[in-house]
Structure 1
Amino acid sequence: MTPASTPASSPAPAHTHEIPGSAAWSAPVRAGRTLTLTALADGANATVLIIGADRLDRLNIPDTLKSQMSARIKPGMVLMSDRGLALATVMTSSLDWHDCLTGALPDQLLLLELAKHGFGEADLHACINFFSKVSVADDPRASLTYIPDHANAGDTVTLRADQDLLIFVSTAPHALSDGPAASIALQLETPDPAEDPAPDPELCEEAIRALRLTRELIA
């Protein structure tokens, strides 16, 4: 008698959640899962902090920008840690600019979420303000200037976790914005491996190396 074959395991069901304006959320995200953020109102801002599940790797904004020759986060970029590993990849985005120079508002939202996972104020490192744009003003000080109306309701960005992560999201207004806070919807899902997209052909050598090293470590 031929033994019955073991059915293939089904992907984990998608998890959806809405974060109201001026609120925060955090959760572990397994390697390979995707996180899609959707702006639910014009002018939304999602401040995102990323820490490796091993608590060693932290999002390193200077290395992420320097190695990929950019002053903004955009589709196709690999978000790197301070050990040169890949934390997450920006898979798709309806916007080509997400601010990562300004940081977060000095409020308690992210600190409260960090405390839930045993972290403190010292762990509030550089972050990304998804859906927000900041440019250099034409003044003698080259001031950073918030660009209003950059994001509209329905704009999205999708990240793929390249290793097990802890992700923290705050919907406080951007630090340079005087507009109201807006809600963000998020969806966590496990893509079908057969539909895994090919690597972005425009990835720079440093990003490719970071992805390779990360996959070797978690294999």
Structure 2
Amino acid sequence: MIAPMESSPRDILKAICISDIPAERPWSQVLKRGQTLRIIDSEGQQAVDALLYCAADPAERYSTQDTLRTQGAAYIELGTRLVSNKGRVMARITADSCGRHDSSAGCCSCESNAVRFGEATKYQHACRENFILELSKYGLTKRDIVANLNFFMNVPIEPDGKFTVVDGISAPGNYVDITMDMDAIFVISNCPQVNNPCNGSNPTPIRVMIWDQDRF
């Protein structure tokens, strides 16, 4: 079942930041409490991996386990509160024109590529490497990578708990709005995966936009 969707009244002309993230590349920004980040799937069927860290204390970071347990739901959807490993709400999903986002399947890595798709794929670029590159800007390392969000990624979960990545449902221009409840480092990997259907076997650019609390 796909979650209910809701469009946003935000005026793109009032955005304080607009950035296009090329296919396969990372991005990050320190977002202030009350600011809203919009992630736009520019061409459709593009998975966007993400991590959040408290700006004041990066040891506090997004927790998949606490988020899904608190919501009592298996997916990230409209109204979901993104919860930290200290039980605090870091951000909320305040608009969503897609209706399906994952927080169970994790991020791709060179090692997992080799195990799942064969040794020849080991040296393909992966989200874990993107996260390492971007986290280094904040004094963080690969040890700080935790289970992440996967915006627009379609990972149906069966009643017996089995799940797999299938074709995405996100259309060109679909977006999700994340409104911050604390100052946080928001890290994105525009997923480079080509071995499963999360990107339609063709990684493409995405766009991000940021609004201040009183500018929408």
TM-score calculated relative to the size of structure 2: 0.78
Q: Secondary structure at the match of 2:37?
A: strand
Deviation by residue 1:71-125 (Cα, 9 ceiling, x = unmatched): 0000101100011101000001012220110111113111100111110011111
State how far apart, in whole Å, the 2-side matches of 1:64 and 1:143 are.
19
1:110 correspondence with 2:134: no
Query: Which residue number corresponds to residue 176 of structure 2?
Result: 157
State how far apart, in whole Å, the 2-side matches of 1:183 and 1:61 are.
26
Cα deviation for residue 127 of structure 1 reads: 0.8
Matched residue type, 1:170:
S
Q: 1:93 aligns with which of 92, 96, 118?
A: 96
Once the two structures are overlaid, the 10-residue window that deviates more, 14-23 or 54-63, is: 54-63
State how far apart, in whole Å, the 1-side matches of 2:84 and 2:101 are.
18
Stretches of structure 2 that go unaligned for 5 or more consecutive residues are 1-13, 110-125
State how far apart, in whole Å, the 2-side matches of 1:146 and 1:119 are.
29
Query: Which residue number corresponds to residue 84 of structure 2?
Result: 81
Deviation by residue 1:58-80 (Cα, 9 ceiling, x = unmatched): 10111111111100000101100
Q: 1:20 to 1:157 in 2, by over 3 A?
A: same
Aligned sequence identity (%): 25
Matched residue type, 1:72:
Y
Q: Secondary structure at the match of 1:92?
A: strand
Stretches of structure 1 that go unaligned for 5 or more consecutive residues are 1-11, 196-219
TM-score calculated relative to the size of structure 1: 0.77
Cα deviation for residue 27 of structure 1 reads: 1.2
Cα deviation for residue 147 of structure 1 reads: 2.4
Cα deviation for residue 191 of structure 1 reads: 2.9
Query: Which residue number corresponds to residue 43 of structure 2?
Result: 41
Higher-Rg structure is: 1
Deviation by residue 1:141-189 (Cα, 9 ceiling, x = unmatched): 8642222141111100000110000000111145843612121100011
CA RMSD of aligned residues (A): 2.0
State how far apart, in whole Å, the 2-side matches of 1:100 and 1:149 are.
14
What pairs up with 1:1-219 in 2 under 5 angstroms? 14-54=16-56, 55-106=58-109, 107=126, 108-136=129-157, 143-173=162-192, 176-177=196-197, 179-192=201-214
State how far apart, in whole Å, the 1-side matches of 2:82 and 2:157 are.
23
Deviation by residue 1:26-70 (Cα, 9 ceiling, x = unmatched): 111111100001001121111111001021321011111111110
State how far apart, in whole Å, the 1-side matches of 2:24 and 2:176 are.
19
